Amino acid sequence: MKYVLPFAGSLLLVFDFSCKNPSGQEQLFVAKDFTDENLFSENIEGPDFDKNGQLYVVNFQRDGTIGKVNADGSCELFLELPKGSNANSIKFDSKGNMLLADWPMHNVLKVDMTTKQVGILCHDDRFNQPNDLCINKKDQLFASDPKWKDDSGQLWRIEPDGRAVLLESGMGTTNGIELSPDEKRLYVAESLQRKVWQYDLDEAGNLSNKRLLIEFPDFGLDGMKCDLAGNLYLTRHGKGTIAVVSPEGRLLREVILKGKKCSNLVFGGKDGRTVFVTMQDRKMIEAFRTDMPGKKFR
């Protein structure tokens, strides 16, 4: 199968992370350091690549910032958010705008990548604290919205015009959220309940047929992403592993990380088979190679 990079003029070609054994053979599912430790705050989160293949991560050096991660693992400040704002997730729309889940201010922010001007795409007082985001080809956002003080959560759809639609309330602590490669299913993780739910998704972005995909006996769940085959890569916060789960809910493997508090991940690299993981206890990014590219690489 030929994997085509989805980014025009892709700089992902220089994110050439490799992991080989002494005989020169590629090692899969072996975590290595990609950046130095202590470059980010303990709330490092939300990694994503822009349309040019540049990696961005939440909370560089301190909270309330967005960091830019270079191909050699060096990092620099990209943006300081307005006073009081703090992002937890990064996504990019089809026009190249950076979208941020601004949890303290109940916003989804939109950043012009040329001018770095920060605006509000959506504000809703009904939000608890928008946490994680995923986006479809129509630029509809789906947002998890936990309320940690009573272990509850909500699920939202945010239209490109900024209108917020409540999809479900009365959930557990909603956190990681992801679309299947064909965008016909939505996955939502409940952190403290350690459950991952699966929904059918129609053309309008409405949900139906909720069912349990998988439940874990211990530790928490945080961000997650799909590979091209539809397998979910789930961060098990506190255990320090990435659980790889099939679309049918079967646990395929667990990738052991060097740190314990993994918060989110993203697929990248020249062939889409490198997974970059944000580590809150080490305040850095780890990476490992997989046998299947991320869903954007087709």
For residue 168, what is the domain's CATH number?
Answer: 2.120.10.30
Strand partners, 277: 265, 286
Structure confidence at residue 57 (pLDDT): 99
> Is 194 in contact with 151 (CB distance < 8 Å)?
no
Residue 247 CA to its chain's centroid (Å): 18
Q: What is the DSSP string of 73-107?
A: S-EEEEEEPPTT--EEEEEE-TT--EEEEETTTTE
125: in domain = yes
Q: For residue 60, give the nearest of 76, 72, 47 by alpha carbon.
A: 76
The whole-angstrom separation of Cα 212 and Cα 85 is: 34
What is the structure's pLDDT at 26? 86
- Examine residue 206 and state whether it is found in any structural domain, yes or no: yes
Is 92 a domain residue? yes
| Cα dihedral 257, 260, 265, 268 sign | negative
Check pLDDT > 90 for residue 248: yes
| Residue in this structure with the two tokens 């954007």, named with its chain if needed | 296
The amino acid at 20 = K
Q: Are strands 75-80 and 65-69 parallel, antiparallel or unpaired?
A: antiparallel
How much is the pLDDT for 97?
Answer: 98
Using CA atoms, how far apart are residues 79 and 59, in angstroms rounded to an integer? 10
Q: Does 5 map to a domain? A: no
Per-residue model confidence as pLDDT tens digits over 22-67? 777 889 999 999 999 999 999 999 999 999 999 999 999 999 999 9
Q: What residue numbers bound the domain in which 119 lies?
A: 11-289
Distance CA 178, CA 101 (A): 15
Q: How far is the C-alpha of 147 from the C-alpha of 152, rounded, in Å?
A: 5
Model confidence over 164-218: pLDDT tens digits? 999 999 999 999 999 999 999 999 999 999 999 999 999 999 999 999 999 999 9
Nearest to 161 by CA among 183, 132, 140, 178: 140
Rounded Cα distance between 201 and 179, Å, is 9
Cα distances (Å, whole numbers) of residue 289 to 19, 108, 270, 294: 7, 32, 11, 11
In a domain, 61, yes or no: yes
Average pLDDT, the chain: 94
Query: Following DSSP, what letter does each residue of 203-229 receive, concatenated?
Result: TTS-EEEEEEEEE-SSSEEEEEEEBTT
The structural domain count of the chain equals 1
6 within some domain: no
205-227 pLDDT, tens digit each: 999 999 999 999 999 999 999 99
pLDDT band at 1 (very low <50, low <70, confident <90, very high): very low
Domain assignment present for 297 = no
Q: Tell me whether residue 133 is in a domain.
A: yes
Give the model confidence (pLDDT) of 116-175 as tens digits.
999 999 999 999 999 999 999 999 999 999 999 999 999 999 999 999 999 999 999 999
Please determine, for residue 236, whether its predicted confidence score (pLDDT) is greater than 90: yes
